Amino acid sequence: MVKRSDKRGNSVYLSIGTNLGNRELNISNAQEELQKLTPHKLVVSPIYESAPWGNESLNPFLNCVIHLYVDLNPLDLLFATQEIEQQIGRTSKSGAVYQNRVIDIDILTYNHQTYDSNVLKIPHSLMVYRKFVLLPLVDLNPKMTLPHSEISVVKLLSICNDSLECKLWKSS
C-alpha cells in the first residue's frame, strides 16, 4: 500500500525530455497538462540542453524536472503521463531503446518510496547515471536523497560518470 507524504498528496518528481519539433513548446505543453493533475502549483527546474544519452546520432534534448503533488497511485500516474505524451504527439516506442521523441515523461521518485512492478520502477533505475536528470534535481532539492540512501543528489551528481555535455538552456 502506498501512503501519502502529506496533506497535499503524493510528492512526485518527474523528468521531462524532448528533442523533436519545437522543444520549448513541447515542455510547456507537458507542464500545462501535468498541472491539470494537481490543484497545487508545479515547481519546475531550469531547462537544460543535453547531448543525446545512449545514441549519439539523435538530436540534442531539452530536459527539466518537475515537482508536484498528486492524488494518483504510481500506476495511475504512469498511465496519466503516458496519455499526456500521446496528446503532445509521442508515438509508440519502436524497437530502438534510445530514439528521437517529441516528449518523454519519466517518474523519478514517488513519496520517497520504492515501487517495483514489471511496468514501473521507482526510483527511476537510470536517474543516478544521467546529468540531465541530476542537474535539475539539484536545482529543485539539493538535499534530496533517494529511498534507502543517505547520499544527496548533490553527491550523486559529483560522482556521476556521465561525460555528455549538459548546459543550462533557460532558467525557470
Q: What is the pLDDT of residues 13-45, one digit of tens each?
A: 999 999 999 999 999 999 999 999 999 999 999
Q: Is 2 domain-assigned? A: no
Q: Please report whether residue 1 resides in a domain.
A: no
Tally of domains within the chain: 1
Q: In whole angstroms, what separates CA 125 from the centre of its chain?
A: 12
Instruction: Sort residue 116 into left (φ over 0), alpha (ψ -120 to 50) or beta.
Output: beta
CA distance 69 to 94: 31
pLDDT of 66? 98
Q: Domain of 66?
A: 10-170
Query: Does residue 1 register a pLDDT over 60?
Result: no
The grid coordinates of residue 52 equal 543525446
Residue-wise pLDDT tens digits, 126-135: 999 999 999 9
Residue 134 resides in a domain = yes
Q: Please report the pLDDT score of residue 95 as a whole number.
A: 52
Is 74 part of any domain?
Answer: yes
Instruction: Tell the burial category of 63 from Cβ atoms under 10 Å away from its Cβ (0-12, 13-18, 19+).
Output: buried
pLDDT, mean of residues 122-146: 96
User: In this predicted structure, what is the pLDDT of residue 99?
Assistant: 75
- Measure the CA–CA gap between 46 and 19, rounded to whole angstroms: 16
Compute the mean pLDDT over every residue in the chain, rounded to the nearest whole number.
Answer: 91
CATH number at residue 142: 3.30.70.560
